[in-house]
Structure 1
């Protein structure tokens, strides 16, 4: 039991405190480039997380203004300009507007785009740490394996989220007033 504990402790120590690597040729430059690449994947993940948060918040704000405009248009004679500025929009748990139209048609694409951005963000963090560890391991062995699928997957996902955002129309076309 004590031998297993010591062996596990030594493995943990090796993970936390790696051995020094000789600076033969371009070893130092390669490892620093690997760290910069990891930080770049992390920055990409943070950017997509920020975009997902913004899309989620904008979707909620859009929903509030849609409900407020529907309340104003359904009962315009009872609301004076003074009370219209004092009235606060109410948010209900249902997904229907006052006129019975479903809000989910336009809101679903915003939610989908936000969820897609969250997925890309988490994938970017995961791929960044995976790539960093695997490149570090191969650099220590004196080899290098170039990345192929990570950049291809990130480009495809980025274009997919852009297409979803463009398909949603940014929320401008679905709320036009009909005369």
Structure 2
């Protein structure tokens, strides 16, 4: 009965196998769940995004635990449906999807591969957390690098873009607009 739990490697969330007794060439439940794409950013898998927290198989039941990017995430329903369908299609007969809100998801959980894919698709990945944050009423202003030309001379055009977790920015050097996944 393999169980996969979150593990943190160099600040990024990774799902680590605790036990794996699958035959050669056979994909396990964790490997299958890790291929499900995020409905809002389909260049990323749920594993890339860091929302896939745990996958376990016990007594014929596969339990997948996910943490949405935020509690009101409109893609949560689609994530649940896609995970369940993918595992049922792979031959697992009983699948449960658990939603866990604590600890809350953070952009630090986006994998290095996920960050690379975001940039490859013209979306500026979020910066990693810098440690203790002074609490005040104004968020710290951090330079966001343009995913096209690399300039840090960028301007936020809108706090919200195609999804609530992204902002719309423009590079002042190349004048190209781009989306930026906001740090949470």
Question: Shared topology, TM-score over 0.5?
Answer: no
Higher relative contact order (CA 8 A, sep 6+): 1
Coarse TM-score class (shorter-chain normalised)? under 0.3
Larger Rg: 1
Structure holding more helix per residue = 1
TM-score, normalised to structure 2's length? 0.23
TM-score, normalised to structure 1's length? 0.23
